[in-house]
């Protein structure tokens, strides 16, 4: 039976899910007609090689779904099921979630478990500000029940006093605690994260071997990277490549340099904001010097995150700043590569990113929405993400198991377990998300060389001071 020591927990979990799927299908297809009775728990246990407790647990699930009812001393009677697809669930996601989390496969698997729930896909924009306005419009017009949401998206809801539009979840002890923190306000969890990634360094193994350069590790500073990038850069002959690249104007890249400064945007005792002679400005100048170093960095001030991975696959750059999410673009690459922690500056820190499920509190299909959101962190779905993507599942037990992958993954893939102490959040800087976007707009001028450092610095101080845009939760 299912308590034998040589049978794994995963094995019996899968068998119980198979039992439920078969019973559901038999009920929906009329194999068991409404009003008829299921075999006894003893017979079902023998038929499916499951214990009485497991059978009872499965039947309780079908009772909760409204497919059967238990009649004391009589048996388990089949009810008239809701028609297949009778509940429509509007699910919003961005196209990148397809490769990052195998969203389409998640939808298919969910509908197999719950045939009476039909998922209607809703496309959401990538830009965070546009995402916020679109989601609110869809919620107001009853066009969205559940949606994927990242930390930046959530911060917009929080800062615009829109959290009452989102339903809450029970906190899950199976998820890494550091992933729940950004989505938890006053003990209320508003987003259920299902994948995550730190920002990391990715490098071409062949290029390093050809140049005789030791592979990057946690001891690397940005100065070490710059020196290695100089040796990796080739600008003569047929081979033309650069040592290092990242997308300079992407929020989740330049923010890393601020986080590594060890400072945040806070006012002094006189109520003034001091940036010009701080570690914050020093690290922004470091970032500027890297992207303007023509000896190592291609002069492309792009905002498209996929540009770095495209250049890396073409072997036009030897190192890129990237994420596990973006590594999914390299699944089919012939380039031999590995990953390492980001080089450090004043502190060894990296930005932590995550994507989760959020629910419309006013949804007319709230029960189905909750089922789908919680389905994303089920063992099977998390294991599927682990085995079929390079994104990291949020359930600790699954994330730390060996992946049964059908494609190449970097040798140091599990490095994420060793660098958790370096994880940092946007909010650690003490600025609102709106202010970070304003800062990004100014950085566009600065990084383009259209604004001198002292002018840029003074403008930032004035901008934040005058607008009083420091995040009140971090003052």
User: Which residues have C-beta within 8 Å of that of residue 189, sequence separation ≥ 6?
Assistant: 168, 169, 170, 171, 180, 183
Distance CA 415, CA 323 (A): 12
Please name which of 332, 305, 208 lies closest in space to residue 248, comparing C-alpha atoms: 305
Please name which of 226, 347, 352 lies closest in space to residue 288, comparing C-alpha atoms: 226
Q: What is the pLDDT of residue 230?
A: 96
DSSP 8-state symbol, 131: H
DSSP 8-state symbol, 342: P
In the numeric block, the tokens 């090689």 are attached to 49
8 Å CB contact between 278 and 261: yes
8 Å CB contact between 41 and 59: yes
In the numeric block, the tokens 């001028």 are attached to 445
Element (H, E) at 204: strand 192-204
φ and ψ of 421, to 5 deg: -70, -15
Length of the chain equals 475
Distance CA 154, CA 51 (A): 43
Q: What is the pLDDT of residue 475?
A: 39
How far, CA to CA in Å, does 309 sit from each of 68, 210, 227, 245?
Answer: 51, 21, 22, 9
Q: What is the largest CA-CA distance in the chain?
A: 86
Q: What is the pLDDT of residue 470?
A: 46
Distance CA 51, CA 30 (A): 26
Please name which of 247, 217, 201, 233 lies closest in space to residue 315, comparing C-alpha atoms: 233
User: Which residues have C-beta within 8 Å of that of residue 208, sequence separation ≥ 6?
Assistant: 214, 215, 232, 318
Distance CA 50, CA 413 (A): 36
Distance CA 128, CA 428 (A): 19
Q: What is the pLDDT of residue 1?
A: 40
Residues in a beta bridge with 197: 353
pLDDT by position in tens, the chain (length 475): 444 444 455 556 678 888 888 888 788 767 888 889 999 999 999 999 899 999 999 999 899 888 899 999 889 999 877 655 568 899 999 999 999 999 999 999 998 888 878 899 999 999 898 999 999 999 999 999 999 999 999 999 999 999 999 999 999 999 999 999 999 999 999 999 999 999 999 999 999 999 999 999 999 999 999 999 999 999 887 778 999 999 999 999 999 999 999 988 877 776 677 788 889 999 999 999 999 998 899 987 555 667 899 999 999 999 999 999 999 999 989 999 999 999 999 999 999 999 999 999 999 989 889 999 999 999 999 999 999 999 999 999 999 998 887 788 999 999 999 999 999 999 999 888 888 888 998 899 999 888 888 888 888 888 777 655 544 443 3
């Amino acid at each position: 039976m299912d308590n034998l020591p040589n049978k794994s927990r995963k094995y019996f979990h899968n068998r119980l899910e198979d039992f439920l799927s078969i019973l559901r299908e038999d009920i929906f297809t009329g194999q068991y007609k409404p009003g008829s009775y299921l075999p006894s728990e003893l017979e079902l246990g023998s038929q499916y090689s499951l214990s009485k407790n497991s059978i009872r647990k499965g039947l309780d699930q079908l009772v909760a779904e409204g497919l059967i009812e238990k009649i004391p001393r009589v048996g388990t009677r089949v009810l008239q099921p809701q028609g297949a697809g009778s509940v429509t669930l509007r699910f919003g996601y961005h196209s990148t979630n397809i490769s990052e989390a195998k969203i389409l496969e998640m939808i298919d698997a969910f509908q197999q478990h719950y045939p009476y729930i039909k998922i209607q896909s809703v496309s959401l924009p990538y830009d965070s500000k546009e995402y916020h306005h679109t989601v609110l419009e869809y919620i107001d017009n009853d066009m969205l029940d559940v949606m994927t949401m990242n930390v930046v998206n959530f911060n917009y809801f929080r800062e615009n006093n829109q959290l009452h539009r989102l339903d809450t979840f029970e906190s899950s002890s199976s998820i890494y605690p550091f992933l729940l923190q950004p989505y938890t306000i006053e003990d209320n969890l508003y987003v259920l994260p299902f994948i995550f990634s730190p920002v990391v360094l990715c490098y071409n193994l062949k290029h390093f071997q050809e140049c005789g350069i030791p592979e990057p590790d946690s001891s690397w500073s940005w100065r070490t990277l710059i020196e290695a990038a100089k040796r990796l850069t080739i600008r003569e002959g047929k081979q033309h490549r650069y040592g290092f690249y990242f997308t300079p104007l992407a929020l989740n890249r330049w923010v890393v340099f601020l986080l590594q400064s060890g400072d945040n945007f806070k006012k002094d005792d006189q109520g003034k904001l001091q940036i010009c002679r701080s570690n914050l400005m020093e690290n922004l100048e470091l970032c500027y010097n890297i992207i303007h170093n023509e000896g190592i960095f291609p002069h492309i001030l792009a905002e498209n995150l996929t540009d770095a991975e495209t250049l890396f696959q073409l072997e036009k750059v030897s190192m890129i700043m990237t994420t596990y999410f973006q590594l999914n673009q390299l699944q089919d690459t012939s380039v031999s590569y590995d990953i390492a922690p980001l080089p450090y500056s004043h502190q060894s820190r990296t930005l932590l990113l995550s994507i989760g499920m959020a629910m419309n509190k006013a949804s007319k299909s709230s029960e189905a929405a909750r089922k789908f959101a919680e389905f994303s962190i089920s063992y099977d779905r998390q294991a599927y993400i682990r085995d079929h993507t390079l994104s990291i599942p949020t359930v600790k037990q699954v994330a730390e198991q060996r992946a049964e992958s059908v494609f190449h993954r970097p040798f140091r893939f599990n490095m994420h377990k060793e660098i958790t102490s370096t994880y940092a959040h946007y909010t650690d800087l003490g600025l609102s998300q709106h202010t970070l976007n304003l800062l990004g707009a100014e950085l566009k001028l600065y990084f383009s060389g259209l604004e001198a450092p002292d002018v840029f610095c003074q403008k930032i101080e004035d901008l934040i001071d005058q607008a009083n845009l420091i995040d009140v939760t971090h003052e």
